[in-house]
Each structure stands twice: as C-alpha cells, then as structure tokens.
Amino acid sequence: PMGSERTEIRKRQMATTPETPGAAQAQLSTGNRGSNACCFCWCCCCSCSCLTVRNQEEERARRTSHELQAEGIPNCEESPAPTLEEVNAWAQSFDKLMLTPAGRNAFREFLRTEFSEENMLFWMACEELKQESNKSVIEEKARLIYEDYISILSPKEVSLDSRVREVINRNMLEPSQHTFDDAQLQIYTLMHRDSYPRFMNSAIYKDLLQSLSEKSIEA
C-alpha cells in the first residue's frame, strides 16, 4: 500500500511538472503582451503630447510673428477726406493713387487685408529717407529700414530679387538717401502690377466710391 501511494504521488508530480513551465511561459507571455501594450499606449500618448506641444509652439510662433508685424507700424497719414473726383482719379492710374495721402491710406488699408502692408510701409520709409540730409540720421534710418524690411530675419521682410539685395548690401557700406532706390522701385512695381488691380475691385474701394457718390447726389 505504501509503495502504491508513492507511485501515485510520483505520477501526480510528473503530471503536474510539465504544466508549470507552460503556465510560467504563458504568464510571461501575457506579461510581455501587457508590457508591450503599456509601452504602445505610452508611445501613443507621448506622440500625441509631442504633436500637441509642436502645434502649440507653431501657433505661438505665428502669433508672435503677427504681433511683431503689428509693432512699430506708424498710423495712417493725416489727410483730409478724399473727394469723389480724387477717388475716381485713383482708378485712372496707380501713380495718381499713390500721389495723395488719402489714396495711400485707402490702399494701405487694403494691403493690410492681404497681409502685405509691409510693402507700403517700406515704400514710405524710403520716401522719408530721401528727405534727410544729416549723415548720422541717414545712417540710422538706413539701418532701421534694412533690419525691418530687408533682413531675412524680419517678419516684415519685403520680396526682393537677389540682384537688388546685392545692390543694397553694397550701398549699406556707405548709406545715403538713395540706398534703397532700386528696392523701392521694385516694390512699387510689385504693388502696381499685383495689388493695385485687386484694390480697384475690392469692397474697400467700391464702398468708398459709392458712399461719396451718394453724398454727391444728396448735395
């Protein structure tokens, strides 16, 4: 009887022993799957978090750029309200539009809606530079114009070709009232060909023209 009991116990041990490594392996496998799942979830969360942070940084950069672009922008030029004759004359040529402060103000308001107001600001800054005669003032204003509108680091950089940029860089060695003449002409031409036709078809111009026309009829 004792021998049979020992034999029975040994059989039971042999029957249960193979199950132990299998169970352990299954448990290990399950543990690994759990670990991988956690790792996967963690990576997803990390990726989502990184994307969120990146999007926030890009949005902050765009907002900062916009705020920088708004800083230091002078107010519109002082001018009397335009007459109906003046507004009609703006449609005749771009030169007539740019000759009057009221015309420049209206055009500048339109450029602001297209996020290209820096073109007008640059042109105005060049006109102001031409009026200076003091050498130290010329050098300081030329430096500011370069930093604000020519430097590739500026949010208000205007679009110029490489030839004009090379001319400016040479001229900046000894700045004068005419340091930016070529660049000013290129931006003037750009506004004339690109922005002026859209301005003439814009609500800003049409509403102003209609308002003055109605006042003229009432008078």
Does some domain include residue 121? yes
User: Is residue 92 included in any domain, yes or no?
Assistant: yes
In a domain, 196, yes or no: yes
Domain total in the chain: 1
CB count within 10 Å of CB 148 equals: 19
Q: What is the CATH number of the domain that holds 150?
A: 1.10.167.10
Question: Which residues form the domain of 87?
Answer: 82-216
Cα(29)–Cα(15) distance, integer angstroms: 22
Is 4 inside a domain boundary?
Answer: no
For 72-118, the pLDDT digits (tens) are: 445 677 878 999 999 999 999 999 999 999 999 999 999 999 999 99
Asked if the structure places residue 14 within a domain, the reply is no
150 close to 158: Cβ distance less than 8 angstroms: yes
Domain annotation covers residue 158: yes
82 close to 65: Cβ distance less than 8 angstroms? no
Tell me whether residue 151 is in a domain: yes
| Stated pTM of the model | 0.66
96 or 55: which leads in pLDDT: 96
> Residue 26 domain-assigned?
no
